[in-house]
Each structure stands twice: as C-alpha cells, then as structure tokens.
Amino acid sequence: MAAVLETVGLVKRFGGITAASDVSLQVEKGARHALIGPNGAGKTTVINLLTGMLRPTAGHILLDGKDITGVEPHERVHLGIARTFQINQLFADLNPIEAISLVVSERMGAGRQWWRLVGKKREIIDDIVGLIEQFHLADVMYDRTAILPYGKQRLLEIALAIACRPRVLLLDEPAAGVPEAERHEILATIEALPKDVTVLLIEHDMDIVFSFADRISVMVNGGLFVEGKPEEVARDPRVKAVYLGEAVDV
Amino acid sequence: MSQPLTEDIGGYVAGRARWHPLEIAFWIAALASIFLLPNKHLILTEIAVLALFALSLDLILGYSGIISLGHAAFFGFGGYVAGLLAKHEIVTEPVLALLVSGFAALVLGFVTSFLVLRGSDLTRLMVTLGVALVLREIANQIDWLTGGADGLQGIVMAPVLGLFPFDIAGHVAYVYCLIVLFAMFLLARRIVNSPFGLSLRSVKGNPLRASAVGISVNGRLVAIYTVAAGYAGIAGALLTQTTQFVSLDVFSLERSADVLLALVIGGTGYLYGGIVGSILFKLMQDYIANLTPQYWQFWIGLVLVIIVLVGRERMANWSAPLRALLARLGPRAAHGVRTARPSPAARPSAADGP
C-alpha cells in the first residue's frame, strides 16, 4: 500500500521547547490510523503541521509523494486534506445551513463568485441536504451556531470537515467533551465514511481507538514511540508503561 | 435524501436574498423624498454621500471585520480625482468621471490592502489612519496640482449625461446622488448575498476555520478592501461633483471618524446601517447645530461617549429586537437576525497547544 500522507523528519520547536522531534509518519491510503499518546506529546502539533497551520522547523510533508511543506493551509484543503479541531472552531454568527453551504460552495469553486447568489446550483443544495441529514442537524439548521447545544456544535465541526470532501481527514479528538449518548452518533458518521477516505484520528478514549483503528502510532514527548497494528500496540509493554505513567528507558 | 428537507433548505437558501417589504418601503420613501422634500435637497444630498461612504465602510467593518480609522483616504482620493478630471476637462461627463474616480480609488485600495492584512484591530486602526494622513500631506504639498490648503478651485461640472445641468437648489444633485447610492447599494447587496459574501462573513467570524475549509483569508480581505475603497472613492467623487469644490478636509481624521460613527449608530453588517446611521447622524448634527451653533461638537462628543459606554456591539445591534420581530412576522426573509457577540463555545480560540 502506498502512503498517501507522509512526513519526513518533521521537527517543530517553539523557542526552547521541541513539540515535535524527527517525526516520520506514514499514513496509507484508506487507512484508519490513530495517533495516541499522553497529553502534550505533540499530537495536535503534528496535525497543525500537516494542515499548514504551523510551519515546521525542519523536515518535509508529502501528499501522494509530492512535497507540500510550503503550501498554504487553504490550498492544502483543495488538495484534499481537511481537519477538525479539538476545540470547536465554528462560525458563531452563521447557522448550520449557511456554514455548510459556505464550505460546499468553496469546494465547488464558487467562493470567489460575487455575481451569483448563494445556492443557485442544484448540486450545492443536494450536498447541503445530504450533510444536514447525515449529521442530524435538520432540527437546528436555522439556529445560529453560537446557541446550538454542544453535541450539535461538535457534529457541525465534523460536518464542515466532511463538506470539504477530503481524501485525507484529520480528526483531533472528535468525541472530546461529547456525552456518551451523542458519542455514538459521531462515531457512526466517522465509520460511515467511504473506505477510500484516509482518516488520521487523535483520541484519548481507548475504546474508540481500538474499535476504529487498523493502525496505531504512539507519540511521547514529541517523538514517535511505537507504531503497529492495534493488537501489537496493545501488547507492547512500553506503551503500557507510558499510559500507566511509569518511567521507561527509550 | 428526503424531499421536504431539500425543499426547505433550497427555499431557505434562495430566500436569503429575497427583498423584505420594509426594504421596498425604505426605497419608496427615499424616492418620495425627491418630490415631498424639495427644499431639503441640500442636506439630503449630504446624507446620500455620507450613506454611500458608510456603506463602503460597512463592507469592510460589518462584513469582514476590518476596522478603519482612515477610510477617508479613499473618499478623498476619489474626490480629488473627480475634481481634477472636471477642472482640466479630462473627463467632463459626471457619470463617467464618477466611474473613473471610483476606479482610481479602487486601485489605491488594492495597493494599500496589503497593509491591513496583518495585525490586530489596533494595528489596522493605526495603519489606515496613517495612510489617510500621508495622502493628506501629499495633497497639501503638491499644491500646483491640488491647490494645497486653499483647495481645488475652478471646478465646473458639465450636465449629467449631457442632459441635466446641476442647479443651485441641488435638485439634480440629489436625484443624481440617490440614483448612484441605490445602484451601488444593489451591487453591494448582490455581493454580500453571493458565495463570496458568505465567505467574507466566515473570514470575519473565524479566520482559522475559514482557512481550514479552503478559503484564502488574505485573498478575500484584499478583494473586499479593494471594492470598499472603490465605493468610498465614488462617494468622495459625488461630494466633489455636487459641491464643485474639494479641499484637504476630505482626507481629515474627522471625516473618517464621522463615517465610523454614522455606521455604528445605524448598526453594522446588514447594509442599511450605514444609510440609517447617516440619516440620524446628519439630522442630529443639523438639529444640534441649529440649537447651539457654537457648541454642537459638545453634543456630538457626548453622544460618542455614550455610544462607547453602552458598547459598540450592543449599540451596533440596537435594531436586533426589531429585526427579530420582523423575522417572526414576515416570511423567512429576514436572514440576518444575529447578535454580534459570539458565544465562548464558538469563539475562535488561540491555536491548539502543542
């Protein structure tokens, strides 16, 4: 299997702190890849580097073998990389219809068009309807995002990423803060994604990770620590040690 | 895919740009003012010019969150271009000269837009203020062209479209300004209801997320800043054409502040704020100046302080309850019922930690 997304010796330093050190990660096409590790291990930094929100101190990022290290964040979206945020990043003043139609219009290349009214194209409407249904947002679709319940906001957060129709989806703790009852909705929608969409998931909930992932990378202190199939990682004594908080010799 | 939902969403999206009955009433009233208030045309012309200027500021402040204290830079530039075109008989027909002046300001807007891309509100305030000061001083120094501190004199305007000469009572001037305002308003309405306009609101609301869904934040800001500069240039050109005079005062800080004040009084982000605010501002100025010719600035200052104390957002949003009521009464046409304050949950937070 070919790697769709690959990092080569990625380093990110914030002043004296090294948030990511020599991260060489390969995410295969169609993979359900989980990135786990203790708090502060550098998982979100990796996502920020992959999406271009942060510039690496050293190293390269390859998409389909092409170097995209210098590509602007919004251009990476058009190349097929989309992400969700650990802390919701939504448009408070827009309602779900407007927010989703914004993203769909943008993907269809209509975002620069000022002479046309929003949603005159049939395929845009169909796409919006599909996403509103898939993410159970129909009952709140006229309400401003700011007043939506947290669970709905979380669904919208993911819906906006899916609306980009990514080839590679980066999910930063999608279930964080979501009550148990609504968690299943979110997981079900992620699992319902087409198989050719590659997913890189950051998650702390091990039940989710092990039920979802077919490949797991463990990060500790900014570096990749262990990588392998779920059962291998589960058995690895070093991983257990990290998660139980014991010191290990690396 | 359920059919009723498709119809609901399709109808809602299409209905966002529908004309609200109040909007139609507003423009009919504006039209009626031509016939019903013939002896008020001079102040109405001033209001229309300020309204267009405020509409321009609304495009960048209300729709994309760029705050400017130097928007007079473009207003003044358009004003001087219009004056020079007429004085030297380069373009004599006013409508054509208006377009040329607007285009000149648009180019200036594009060039200076890159200065407002970076930084916070404070940086933007200072940068825009600085640009206006620089232009004012340039206009002051090149007095062989601009007339310097004396202003540009000897402007004689040709008849509009070669048919309607400007008259001393200002009837033609008012009708001309009102038509230009309406045409520019229609264009602005189209822009803010387009996918581009929606993307502006996303850039204003959360630039981090906007870029994460594929929107070029800087590209959009450059585009709208450029367009708004063109709008301001046309407003400035209208002032020159209707008064047949232009002086350094068009670049003044006071002018930038007045337009900001008018817009804030009327409310940002729904296009009518600038127009309503300009009406209130000019009438208030006129009324107070009649009461106390010497001290009118005292009252304007007091109003300014009250606005700031009450809070820009609450003030800018004074019409929200009214709009909410309209939304409930009318069809789903009132798309913009929104408070200006984002909730903590959806507010853009600092980039996620390492």
ipTM above 0.85? Answer: yes
Task: Say whether residue B212 is in contact with chain A using an 8 A CB cutoff.
Answer: yes
Which residues of chain B fall short of a pLDDT of 50?
Answer: 332-354
- Is the Cβ pair A82, B205 closer than 8 Å? no
Q: Using CA atoms, how far apart are residues A152 and B109, in angstroms rounded to an integer?
A: 41
> Which of B191, B205, B338 is closest, CB to CB, to A114?
B191
- Is the Cβ pair A51, B201 closer than 8 Å? no
B contacts of A98 (beta carbons < 8 Å): 198, 201
Half-sphere exposure of A134 (CA within 13 A, CB side): 20
Region A35-64: mean pLDDT is 92
A contacts of B351 (beta carbons < 8 Å): 48, 53-54
Interface of A with B in 103-142 (CB under 8 A): 103, 105-107, 110-120, 125-126, 128-130, 132-133, 138, 141-142
> Which of B5, B205, B352 is closest, CB to CB, to A91?
B205
Determine the Cα angle at B85 with ends B84 and B89, to 5°. 110
Are B271 and B19 a contacting pair, CB within 8 Å? no
Region A136-157: mean pLDDT is 91
Interface of A with B in 35-74 (CB under 8 A): 40, 42, 44-45, 47-48, 51, 53-54, 72-74
Listed by start position, the domains of chain B span 20-252
Q: Which residues contact B335 (CB under 8 A, 6 or more apart)?
A: B15, B16
State the residue for tokens 């109405």.
B44
Confidence of residue A245 (pLDDT cuts 50, 70, 90): low
Nearest residue in chain A measured CA to CA from B6: A129
Exposed, middle or buried, A160 (CB in 10 Å: 0-12/13-18/19+)? buried
Nearest residue in chain B measured CA to CA from A158: B213
- Is the Cβ pair A44, B190 closer than 8 Å? no
Q: What percent of chain A has pLDDT over 70?
A: 96
Rounded to a whole number of angstroms, the distance from the CA of A87 to the nearest CA of chain B is 8
Q: Using CA atoms, how far apart are residues B261 and B281, in angstroms rounded to an integer?
A: 8
Provide the 3-class DSSP secondary structure of residue A172.
strand
Q: Using CA atoms, how far apart are residues B113 and B107, in angstroms rounded to an integer?
A: 10
Q: What is the pLDDT of residue A238?
A: 85
Rounded to a whole number of angstroms, the distance from the CA of B11 to the nearest CA of chain A is 10
Min mean pLDDT across A49-53, A69-73, A182-186 is at A182-186
Rounded to a whole number of angstroms, the distance from the CA of A138 to the nearest CA of chain B is 8
CA distances for A67 relative to A44, B126, B232, angstroms: 21, 39, 43
- Is the Cβ pair A117, B343 closer than 8 Å? no
Residue B67 neighbours by CB distance under 10 Å: 17
**In the predicted structure, residue A6 carries a pLDDT above the cut 90:** yes
Considering Cα of B299, then B304, then B308, then B311, what sign does the dihedral take? positive
Q: What is the pLDDT of residue A246?
A: 53
Q: What is the pLDDT of residue B296?
A: 74
Q: What is the pLDDT of residues A211-242, one digit of tens each?
A: 889 999 999 888 888 888 988 888 888 888 87
State the DSSP H helix or E strand holding residue A230, giving kind and residue range, or none if neither.
helix A230-235
Select A1-80+166-180+198-235's CATH number: 3.40.50.620, 3.30.1330.100, 3.60.20.10, 3.40.50.300. Answer: 3.40.50.300
- DSSP structure string for B253-307: HHHHHHHHHHHHHH-SSSSHHHHHHHHHHHHHHHHHHHH-TTTHHHHHHHHHHHH
Q: What is the pLDDT of residue A226?
A: 87
Nearest residue in chain A measured CA to CA from B215: A74
Region A127-136: mean pLDDT is 90
Are B77 and B111 a contacting pair, CB within 8 Å? no
Q: What is the pLDDT of residue B311?
A: 61
Q: What is the pLDDT of residue A132?
A: 92
Q: What is the pLDDT of residue A239?
A: 83
Q: What is the pLDDT of residue A124?
A: 86
Give the number of A-B residue pairs with CB atoms closer than 8 Å.
Answer: 195
CB contact burial A91-124 (16+ within 10 A = b; e otherwise): bbbbbbbbbbbbbbbbbeebbbbbeebbbeeeeb
Mean pLDDT of chain A: 88
Interface of A with B in 197-236 (CB under 8 A): 222
Min mean pLDDT across A22-26, A57-61, A99-103, B291-295 is at B291-295
Q: What is the pLDDT of residue A136?
A: 87
Q: What is the pLDDT of residue B339?
A: 38
Q: What is the pLDDT of residues A21-30, one digit of tens each?
A: 999 999 999 9
Are A20 and A12 a contacting pair, CB within 8 Å? yes
Nearest residue in chain B measured CA to CA from A86: B352
Work out the end-to-end distance of chain A between its first and last CA atoms, rounded to an integer number of angstroms.
Answer: 29
Q: Which residues contact B133 (CB under 8 A, 6 or more apart)?
A: B70, B251, B253
Q: What is the pLDDT of residue B213?
A: 94
Task: Kindly give the residue spans of alpha helices, DSSP state H, lying in chain B.
Answer: 3-15, 21-36, 41-61, 72-87, 94-113, 121-141, 143-146, 171-192, 195-205, 207-212, 217-243, 253-266, 272-291, 296-310, 312-316, 320-329
Give CATH 3.40.50.300 domain extents, chain A: 1-80+166-180+198-235
Q: Which residues contact A173 (CB under 8 A, 6 or more apart)?
A: A86, A202, A203, A204
Task: Say whether residue B346 is in contact with chain A using an 8 A CB cutoff.
Answer: yes
- Is the Cβ pair A88, B345 closer than 8 Å? yes
Q: What is the pLDDT of residue A244?
A: 62
Tokens in use for A3?
Answer: 């790697």
Nearest residue in chain B measured CA to CA from A113: B196
